[in-house]
Amino acid sequence: MTSKPSPLRVAAIDFLNPAPLMWDLEHPPLAARLAPHYELHYTAPAECAANLLAARADLGLIPIAALTPELAIVPGLTIASLDEVRSIQLVVKLNAKLPAAALDQEVQEPEAQEPDAVLRTVRTIAADTASRSSLAYTHILFRKFLGIEPEFRPAPADPIAMLQTADAALLIGDPALLALESRTEIERQIGPCLWIDIAHQWRTRTGLPWVAAVWAVRPESLGPHTRTAAQLIDDLTQSRDHGLTHIDDLVREWTPRIALAPAAIHAYLTDNIHYHLDPACLEALHLFRRYAAEIDLLPPLPNPLFL
């Protein structure tokens, strides 16, 4: 008797930015056809990686900081940004501790101040830990590019509470987008802040895209009773392509779920997020892992495995 094919256990992210990648897995007509092959489980990005590494999942959309030599990247697919991403925000309180060179700028708008001068005043960061990659990029910004090591303190993603106890707050994913929408109220309670887009900082300093996450699979989970490598690549690529043709539908779907204007959701999915793991993104992935290894943040990964 032939055994019933086993579905791939999928560790997925219930954030706005992966929505186009998930289209076929979540929407008709293909969701029903794919259901016997993919069993979806939603969690935070860092937990996706933990589940994959612990063999509690077979396939996961994981931060590139969580890649290991044993996990295979599904080619062509990513969550990245070509410049400003909006969903990774470092919010820095402005105060009288600015270096002398920046003091004459204190009367200007926060955006007019020299970002590096402000960043060098940061000693403590309340950090949302939802994504290892975003944390790692922020460590690289301070330790590699600025040569300083502020203290990172894990904290729930509440910008006002975070900024009441630290010099800066690192917000990731949907909480960052919501904080931008509530900027006026946050600064009314906290005072003026400088809002730093971490992806833009990476782009400015390296000339490369900012890459957050990729689909990764445990190769041993692919076999005659699940999907072949070719089928998996085709399923996920088509899902991405179909999702990008249904952006308006995603905007309608997400408008009741997140307190953002429909135009802001549309702009985020079309202008801020880049879904193709192209050569520039691959170069950025390699550079990110090299920099992270140089500051002893992550182990080296000179030759990532690709499916």
287-306 confidence digits (pLDDT tens): 999 999 999 999 999 999 99
36 φ/ψ angles, rounded to the nearest 5 degrees: -65, -15
pLDDT in tens, 71-120: 999 999 999 999 999 999 999 999 745 443 443 444 445 555 689 999 99
Give the DSSP H or E segment for 153. strand 151-154
Tokens read off for 9? 């256990």
Distance of alpha carbon 28 from the chain centroid: 27
CB–CB of 300/293 below 8 Å?
yes
Beta strands 124-127 and 168-172: pairing type? parallel
Q: Are 209 and 290 in contact (CB under 8 A)?
A: no
> What are the domain boundaries of the chain?
8-82+210-306, 88-206
CATH of domain 8-82+210-306: 3.40.190.10
Same fold, 8-82+210-306 and 88-206: yes
Distances from the Cα of 141 to the Cα of 45, 195, 198, 214, 241, angstroms: 21, 14, 8, 21, 33
Question: Residue 30: which residues within 8 A CB-CB, separation 6 or more?
Answer: 24, 238, 239, 242
Query: In the CATH scheme, what architecture does the domain 88-206 have?
Result: 3-Layer(aba) Sandwich (3.40)
The position carrying tokens 């077979």 is: 58
Sheet holding 168-172, edge to edge: 151-154, 124-127, 168-172, 88-93, 193-197
Give the rounded distance of the alpha carbon of 260 from its chain centre.
Answer: 18
User: What's the whole-model pTM score?
Assistant: 0.90
Amino acid code (one letter) for 22: M
Low-confidence ranges of the chain (pLDDT < 50): 1, 96, 98-108
Q: What is the predicted pLDDT for the residue at 104?
A: 43
